[in-house]
């Protein structure tokens, strides 16, 4: 069977630009892909690249979509090269959505870690998120001087109720000495820091492994495992810490599922600021993966990011309307 293919590029400015060690991110751009079968049934998928994590760029994804024929076969959808991982995810998702009913499920805030603004702004931002039901918060480090960040984090820990968990995310921005300072400090907080994401850059894997064995506070790989191939590499090189799974840029969701089924890692599914279309695919996958990864059941998913983007029509499950607005 062949499917009619079309696509649209979207552009969504963040409510406030997001500051990380990778720089300031102001606009989320991606592609919505649409397939229609011969009976007129329509389905959508999303390609949301994150090139500074190693995925294809938006331009490469647009180029790929632009050279496809109007009618696609199933084999064309499933033979996209791993060099286009966000496209693999988007096309597998749209194909799956065409062949199943979508339930439009949302996760309760308790199950999602809410991303706080970087720097001191976190101190005035956690309360409304706590009131919504979030109990896990994520905060970026490695952006301001260590002494400032430590002081802000100490204030934050003094403010949030004891039941709150904090995740730190350095985005690979620390050197080994600073990472040790942070880990020493985290170990003294008696488990109030759930883990530190990617303290060192991906090519420092031996040092990351050493730190993960030396400190009690868990370390999570994120930038190191931007693709399924990298995830496998570090798994076989002995990583026993946490794995951040940015499913939308990791290629085939089917193959990711297969790997997690065979290797029940401590994985945390995480957002790359998708629209409702990509988000639904990630939530569906997260629910399936959680059954395969029992270690992960107590961890909130990295999906508490909706407050960073405008709550326009793109967050509604009214995907036909959204498509028409992009047309
Ligand atoms: Mg991260």
Is residue 314 predicted with pLDDT exceeding 60? no
| Centroid of ligand 1 to alpha carbon of 164 (angstroms) | 19
d(CA 195, CA 192): 9
| Centroid of ligand 1 to alpha carbon of 173 (angstroms) | 11
Asked which of 17-21, 96-100, 270-274 is least confident by mean pLDDT, the reply is 17-21
Closest by CA to 167, choosing from 189, 144, 200, 145, is 189
From residue 255, give the alpha-carbon distance in Å to each of 16, 135, 217, 291, 314: 35, 31, 30, 16, 28
Quick one: how far is CA 270 from the chain centroid? 3
Mean residue pLDDT of the chain comes to: 93
Tens of pLDDT along 40-71?
A: 999 999 999 999 988 999 999 999 999 999 99
Is residue 172 predicted with pLDDT exceeding 90? yes
d(CA 282, CA 182): 31
pLDDT > 90: percent of the chain: 81
| Centroid of ligand 1 to alpha carbon of 319 (angstroms) | 29
| Centroid of ligand 1 to alpha carbon of 207 (angstroms) | 18
| Centroid of ligand 1 to alpha carbon of 297 (angstroms) | 19
| Centroid of ligand 1 to alpha carbon of 139 (angstroms) | 10
Please report the pLDDT score of residue 315 as a whole number.
58
| Centroid of ligand 1 to alpha carbon of 110 (angstroms) | 19
Quick one: how far is CA 145 from the chain centroid? 26
Is residue 101 predicted with pLDDT exceeding 80? no
| Centroid of ligand 1 to alpha carbon of 33 (angstroms) | 26
pLDDT interval class at 317 (50, 70, 90): low
Tell me phi and psi for residue 228, to 5 degrees.
-60, -35
Quote the pTM value.
0.93
Is residue 263 predicted with pLDDT exceeding 60? yes
Closest by CA to 93, choosing from 307, 320, 291, 251, is 251
| Centroid of ligand 1 to alpha carbon of 258 (angstroms) | 23
Just list the catalytic residues: 140, 246
Write the CB contacts of 267 (distance below 8 Å, at least 6 apart in sequence): 242, 243, 244, 245, 260, 289, 293, 296
Tens of pLDDT along 195-218?
A: 999 999 999 999 999 999 999 999
d(CA 19, CA 42): 37
Is residue 311 predicted with pLDDT exceeding 80? no
């Amino acid at each position: 069977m062949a499917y009619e293919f079309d696509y649209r590029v979207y552009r969504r400015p963040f409510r406030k630009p997001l500051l990380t060690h990778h720089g300031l991110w102001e606009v989320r751009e991606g592609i919505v892909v649409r397939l229609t079968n011969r009976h007129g049934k329509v389905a959508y998928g999303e390609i949301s690249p994150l090139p500074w994590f190693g995925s294809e760029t938006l331009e490469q994804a647009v180029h790929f979509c632009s050279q496809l024929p109007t009618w696609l076969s199933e084999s064309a959808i499933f033979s996209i090269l791993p060099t286009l991982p966000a496209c693999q995810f988007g096309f597998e998702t749209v194909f799956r959505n065409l062949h199943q009913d979508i339930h439009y499920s949302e996760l309760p805030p308790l199950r999602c870690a809410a991303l706080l603004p970087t720097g001191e702004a976190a101190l005035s931002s956690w309360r409304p998120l706590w009131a919504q039901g979030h109990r896990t918060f994520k905060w970026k480090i490695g952006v301001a001087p260590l002494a400032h960040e430590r002081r802000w984090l100490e204030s934050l820990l003094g403010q949030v109720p004891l039941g709150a968990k904090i995740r730190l995310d350095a985005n690979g921005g620390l050197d080994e000495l600073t990472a040790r300072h942070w880990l020493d400090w985290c170990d003294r907080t008696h488990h109030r820091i759930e883990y530190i994401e990617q303290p060192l850059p991906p090519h420092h894997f031996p040092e990351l492994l050493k730190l993960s064995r030396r400190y009690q506070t868990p370390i999570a790989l994120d930038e190191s495992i931007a693709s399924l191939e990298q995830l496998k590499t570090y798994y076989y090189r002995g990583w026993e810490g946490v794995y951040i799974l940015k499913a939308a840029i990791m290629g085939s969701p089917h193959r990711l599922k297969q790997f997690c089924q065979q290797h029940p890692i401590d994985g945390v599914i995480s957002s790359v600021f998708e629209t409702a279309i990509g988000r639904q695919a990630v939530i569906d996958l997260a629910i399936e993966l959680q059954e395969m990864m029992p270690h992960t059941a107590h961890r909130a998913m990295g999906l508490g990011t909706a407050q960073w983007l405008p709550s326009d029509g793109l967050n509604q499950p009214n995907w036909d309307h959204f498509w028409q607005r992009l047309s």
